[in-house]
């Protein structure tokens, strides 16, 4: 028998394309099938095409944790048209440590409670309690993210932007505490026991899936399935996006955005502002007031973080804060050569440590990456540069443009795309912010954002013990420094010679996230989370 004949016998015919299951990523299926075929050739094992296809589907499916998003999700549908995200949806104030695992679930349960208050009186008269079931990544790492506390807080009427973090801290100190909830003419008590960590693995519409139920004993009176889709954005089964105006300058890619800017002799910030007015219906004054609030909140998180020295962050890691120590050393003339990097790093550590404490932070774009952009804003505002608020607004608009595009064509969710979707996007947004503030042209802003994102590609989300501390806090410092580095390179090269465009890098971000094993996507099943032993 010839080598060719032997190979044909071992490999069998290639699986027909119709053999690719609808719920399995096609690329993963074909790669698994090729590996199985190669293994068969090496070991002398014969695989029929049917058995090979069945095994490839099994392995491709096993690596996913709801990673193949349901096409019914609006976050998937919205990627087909122009960018429609607005600032108030994007930059959110809320408690750390995670936009998808803390802010999102709190918004979800608050929404569910509000829905319950509108149910018919006869239905509410039967109610005995509320239950929340967490699935997928929310179940896998929810303990370390405070998901159960956030979920309970929403049920008892707390909103992310206004909740007192001390209220959430009390839940840690008093886990048996009950909280009264009034529905209709009845009041009943809820506790953390009403938040249930359910299945980690399953065919979920999104990795961050949860269900909320109004109960009458063991009977479900009313139930709704929700999804925390990243960056604090939420959806539910049957979700319809709110009606919005049409953008003045519609774009779905960086190429289109830059064409609008260059053709109309506008900056990236000016294009985004015009679209914001058209889509949201708000005035320029209202938008500026919101941007000022976000900038002020960013400065406040850094300032508070710097004021707390060498305290122990919550959780089993017993990690000590170091932002204040790094900042103090940066003031020492002995280390003057390191001062710029040290100060930016200290600011990022400060905001990220505030996130780890569960204090209020700003999603830019997520809670896990909430140290990156505030560090840059603080460095620009509170240093010798003293950049005025008008310039900071422009930077926040340009940064939002990059975040919008990454959300539109990839993801902001660590549970869906790994840490590249959080720190990588935050670094790219921050690079755009800096480049816009120094009045760089659109091409340079794109180049800076692209470089920052490119050099985070492949970064996994592997939080030790499920807490947003190791490696998350230091990653914010590196993301902030990389943003500055990206701008330095972009402003020192001939812009037209930059070889990689942002759209290509965002597509690569999406592709890499899809191919990444589920154990590296906020499940704490791999990487540092699996290898670091806590003693």
pLDDT score at 449 = 98
Give the CA angle between residues 115, 83, 397 to the nearest 5°.
Answer: 95
Residue closest to 518 by CA, chosen among 59, 31, 35, 146:
59
Q: Say whether pLDDT at 116 is over 60.
A: yes
The percentage of residues in the chain with a pLDDT greater than 90, rounded to a whole number, is 81
- The DSSP line for 255-296 is HHHHHHHHHTT--HHHHHHHHHHHHH---HHHHHHHHHHHHH
Residue closest to 311 by CA, chosen among 349, 362, 368:
349
- Cβ–Cβ contacts within 10 Å for residue 129, how many? 17
Q: Say whether pLDDT at 493 is over 60.
A: yes
pLDDT score at 35 = 54
Query: Per-residue pLDDT averaged across 429-448, rounded?
Result: 98
Query: Per-residue pLDDT averaged across 304-310, rounded?
Result: 96
pLDDT score at 5 = 46
pLDDT score at 57 = 57
Residue closest to 456 by CA, chosen among 328, 369, 362, 358:
369
Q: How far apart are CA 408 and CA 403, in angstroms?
A: 8
Q: Say whether pLDDT at 497 is over 90.
A: yes
Confidence class of residue 53 from pLDDT cuts 50, 70 and 90?
Answer: low
Q: Indicate the pTM of the whole model.
A: 0.84
Which residues, other chains included, contact 326 with Cβ-Cβ below 8 Å and sequence gap of 6+?
342, 345, 346, 349
pLDDT score at 80 = 82
Strand partners, 521: 461
pLDDT score at 75 = 79
Confidence class of residue 27 from pLDDT cuts 50, 70 and 90?
Answer: low
Which residues, other chains included, contact 292 with Cβ-Cβ below 8 Å and sequence gap of 6+?
389, 393
Q: Say whether pLDDT at 11 is over 50.
A: no
Query: Per-residue pLDDT averaged across 169-186, rounded?
Result: 92
Q: Say whether pLDDT at 25 is over 80.
A: no
- Provide the token pair at 385: 């540069």
pLDDT score at 72 = 82
Q: Among 57-71, 137-151, 247-261, name the one with the lowest average pLDDT.
A: 57-71
pLDDT score at 187 = 94
Query: Per-residue pLDDT averaged across 126-153, rounded?
Result: 95
Pairing of strands 233-236, 219-230: antiparallel
Query: Per-residue pLDDT averaged across 25-44, rounded?
Result: 55
pLDDT tens for each residue of 225-275: 999 999 999 999 999 988 999 999 999 999 999 999 999 999 999 999 999
Confidence class of residue 535 from pLDDT cuts 50, 70 and 90?
Answer: low
Q: What is 98-236's CATH superfamily?
A: D-3-phosphoglycerate dehydrogenase; domain 3 (3.30.1330.90)
Q: How far apart are CA 367 and CA 147, in angstroms?
A: 13
What are the CA-CA distances from residue 459 to residues 14, 331, 479 (Å)? 33, 32, 12
Q: How far apart are CA 484 and CA 434, in angstroms?
A: 8
Residue closest to 414 by CA, chosen among 466, 342, 481:
466
Q: Say whether pLDDT at 68 is over 70.
A: no
Query: Per-residue pLDDT averaged across 456-473, rounded?
Result: 96
pLDDT tens for each residue of 73-87: 887 877 789 999 999
Report how far apart the first and last C-alpha atoms of the chain are (Å, whole number): 59
Query: Per-residue pLDDT averaged across 337-365, rounded?
Result: 96
pLDDT score at 52 = 59
Confidence class of residue 358 from pLDDT cuts 50, 70 and 90?
Answer: very high
- The DSSP line for 156-222 is TT--TTT--HHHHHHHHH-TT--EEEEETTEEEEE-GGGEEE--SSS--SSSSEEEEEEEETTEEEE
Higher pLDDT: 216 or 17? It is 216
Q: Where in the chain is the domain with CATH 3.30.1330.90?
A: 98-236
Confidence class of residue 294 from pLDDT cuts 50, 70 and 90?
Answer: very high
Q: How far apart are CA 315 and CA 103, in angstroms?
A: 19
Q: Say whether pLDDT at 49 is over 80.
A: no
Average pLDDT over the chain, rounded to an integer: 90
């Amino acid at each position: 028998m010839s080598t060719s004949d032997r190979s044909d016998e071992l490999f069998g015919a290639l699986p027909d394309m119709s053999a690719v299951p609808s719920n399995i990523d096609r690329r993963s299926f074909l790669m698994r099938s090729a590996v199985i075929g190669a293994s068969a050739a090496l070991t002398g094992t014969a695989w029929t095409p049917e058995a090979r296809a069945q095994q490839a589907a099994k392995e491709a499916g096993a690596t996913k944790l709801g990673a193949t998003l349901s096409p019914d999700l609006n976050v998937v549908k919205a990627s087909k048209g122009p960018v429609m995200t607005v600032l108030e949806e994007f930059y959110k104030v809320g408690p750390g440590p995670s936009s998808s695992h803390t802010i999102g679930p709190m918004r979800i349960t608050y929404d569910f409670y509000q829905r319950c208050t509108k149910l018919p009186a006869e239905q509410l008269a039967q109610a005995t309690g509320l239950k929340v079931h967490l699935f997928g990544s929310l179940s896998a790492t929810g303990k370390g993210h405070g998901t159960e506390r956030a979920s309970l807080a929403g049920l008892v009427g707390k909103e992310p932007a206004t909740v007192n973090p001390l209220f959430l801290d009390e839940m840690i100190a008093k886990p048996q505490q009950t909280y009264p909830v009034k529905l209709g003419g009845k009041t009943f008590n809820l506790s953390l026991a009403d938040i249930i960590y359910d299945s980690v693995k399953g065919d979920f519409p999104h990795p961050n899936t949860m269900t909320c139920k109004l109960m009458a004993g063991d009977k479900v009176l009313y139930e709704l399935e929700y999804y925390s889709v990243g960056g604090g954005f939420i959806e539910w089964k049957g979700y319809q996006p709110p009606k919005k105006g049409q953008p003045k300058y519609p774009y779905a890619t960086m190429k289109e955005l830059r064409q609008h800017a260059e053709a109309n002799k506008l900056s990236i910030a000016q294009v985004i502002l015009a679209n914001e007015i058209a889509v949201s219906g708000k005035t320029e004054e209202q938008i500026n007031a919101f941007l000022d609030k976000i900038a002020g909140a960013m400065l406040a998180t850094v300032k508070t973080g710097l004021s707390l020295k060498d305290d122990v962050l919550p959780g089993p890691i017993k990690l000590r804060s170091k932002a204040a120590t790094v900042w103090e050393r940066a003031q020492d003339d002995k280390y003057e050569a390191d001062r710029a990097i040290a100060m930016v790093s200290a600011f990022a550590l400060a905001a990220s440590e505030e996130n780890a404490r569960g204090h209020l932070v700003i999603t830019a774009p997520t809670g896990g990456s909430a140290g990156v952009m505030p560090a840059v804003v603080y460095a620009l505002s509170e240093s010798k540069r003293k950049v005025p608020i008008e310039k900071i607004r422009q930077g926040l608009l340009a940064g939002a443009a990059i975040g919008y595009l990454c959300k539109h064509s990839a993801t902001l969710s660590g549970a869906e795309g790994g840490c590249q979707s959080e720190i990588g996007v935050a670094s790219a947004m921050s690079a755009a912010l800096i480049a816009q503030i120094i009045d760089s042209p659109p091409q340079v802003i794109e180049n800076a954002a692209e470089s920052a994102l490119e050099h985070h590609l492949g970064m996994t989300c592997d939080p030790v013990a499920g807490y947003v501390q190791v490696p998350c806090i230091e990653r914010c410092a590196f993301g902030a420094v990389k943003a500055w580095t990206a701008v330095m390179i972009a402003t020192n090269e001939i812009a037209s010679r930059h070889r990689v465009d942002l759209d290509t890098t965002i597509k690569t971000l999406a592709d890499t996230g899809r191919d990444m094993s589920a154990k590296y996507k906020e499940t704490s099943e791999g990487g540092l989370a699996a290898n670091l032993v806590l003693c």
